Structure 1
Amino acid sequence: MKLTILGCHSATPKENARPTSQVLEMRGHLFLIDCGEGTQMAMRKAKVKFSRIKHIFISHLHGDHVYGLVGLISTFCLLGRETPLTVYGPKGVKELVLFQLKLSGAYTTFPLRFRESVDNQPTLLFEDELLSVTTIPLEHRIFTHGFLFQEKPHDRKLDVVACQERGIDVSYYKKIKKGHDMVLEDGSVIPNEELTFEGQSQRSYAFCSDTIYKEDIIPQINGVTALYHESTFLKDREELCEKTKHSTAEQAAQIAKKADVGTLILGHFSSRYNNYDLFKEEAQTVFENVELAADGKVFEFNK
């Protein structure tokens, strides 16, 4: 599981500070999460292959999370893309994209699909045999949801020596790795635990974009490998949170602690601040394992 931060700052423009956009590589997929201005340039800089992006997830329709989308789609067209692209987001994302393409006289060279959501309950957006993507209901000034990316259980690791000692034919190995016990010809059963080791743990990533402090997301994100949670303000500006529907670094850490996550990644920093280390210091008073997002920064989670 590899996360590349393309942009992690709030709406007001600032030199060398891009708005929100991320790429998550997980089980062979390359997911684009939010698409603020400059996303495609950041993708070029990070050497992200445009052709591998088949699914784009938009948290909400504020400009710093979506204004790069039409430009990216237009570039896909210029490159002669033929592979289908699906955009997941709140109701209105389809109208936003198609209206701009229509007024500019543009058209797509590939199937462009939309999956819009208006549900305030977790909704399954994507699923295959390897992973699933579900919305995380958030609370912001407009309809907003985050995304939970979850691996499905990995196969168990085969204990080849144990299998050979019991004379088990290799044709049964695949079934054993799936967790099945071995039934011998005489009817006796060898428990799967005697033939395998624990497989790789299931990794998961929760992306919580713009939102106020919202404890009711905790059960859904409990125990995730990594949590990205917005931290627009420090505690000294906490009074702005209710007005703007944002969170502080301390509040993000409280969510991380109560949800028992592995790693907390802070982002969406307000342009009021120049020293982002203060966000990490504030969060670590509550939760120890804190990382700061930064444009171009890469996080890898192999366990």
Structure 2
Amino acid sequence: MPQFSCPKCGAALAVDPGTQIAKCQFCGTVTYVDRSEALFYYLLPFTIDEVKARGIFKRWTAGPSMAKELENGCKITKIVKEFFPVFRFRRSVNKSEKVFVRPARGTTLPGMHNLEIPPGGEVIYDDKVSIGDARQIDPDISIGSYIGEMPGNAIDQALVYFPIYEMTYEFEGKSYDVVIDGSSGRVYSGPSPSRGSAQYMAVMGVSFVLGLIGGYLACSIHVLFIVLAAGGLFAGRYMAQQVVTKKPAPAVAGGGVAAGGSAAQAGEGASAPSDAQSGAPSDAGAQGAQTAETGAEPEVKQ
């Protein structure tokens, strides 16, 4: 009889051949027995019902990258609520904890290598847990097939039953598969009908150019406003300094000459009365000067 160790307390687990579920008699941990070792055994519950799942799918078909007629032109032909088995690896990589999820069953469903298990959302999968109307899919891949590709050192490993809605829909005569995460509502899709690449890229290109123009104008106006405001402040400061520090006007060049001219005019005014008072002598002097110039003797009146 093969021997396995409890993944929680390390105690020996006695497992009969063909048995996949075992419970530790020491700590009570329920484990899933793989071909090589015993793993933690969890289930992640559904938080999204089928009605919400259909609504999520409809909104997804109306996305901007999907074919224009897809929302109203497609038809859901299958929807299955199921728990899909995945291996969860918690590893220590460069002193930090990393989580990796890999499918525990061979499948072509989209997204099974990219599922995200929320921390603390899972519950121990024992006989107290009911899966309701969901279908449980059994693993067919050994965990050992993934160990070699895992980086770092192992912290723990577990088999987790993950809630999904497996959907198939038809559009224009073709069938497509979609998986909706039953815990978060995330959509995983393979190849799907999308808008024509040329039309889609043209619209996206125009949107990108308009976005650049809008951003440039916004930045330009902003910068121009700052420049004008700064210029106004500096101009105001300069004018204020000029008003406060204004000096008296300097003396006009040649002012002494103007003063001298005034003095001369005053002198002329002062000498005028003197000439008037001595009018006869002045005339005699002028006559004498004239006689001297002509050489004639002055006429003597009898």
TM-score by length of 1: 0.16
User: Higher helix share goes to which structure?
Assistant: 2
Q: Which is greater in Rg?
A: 2
TM-score by length of 2: 0.16
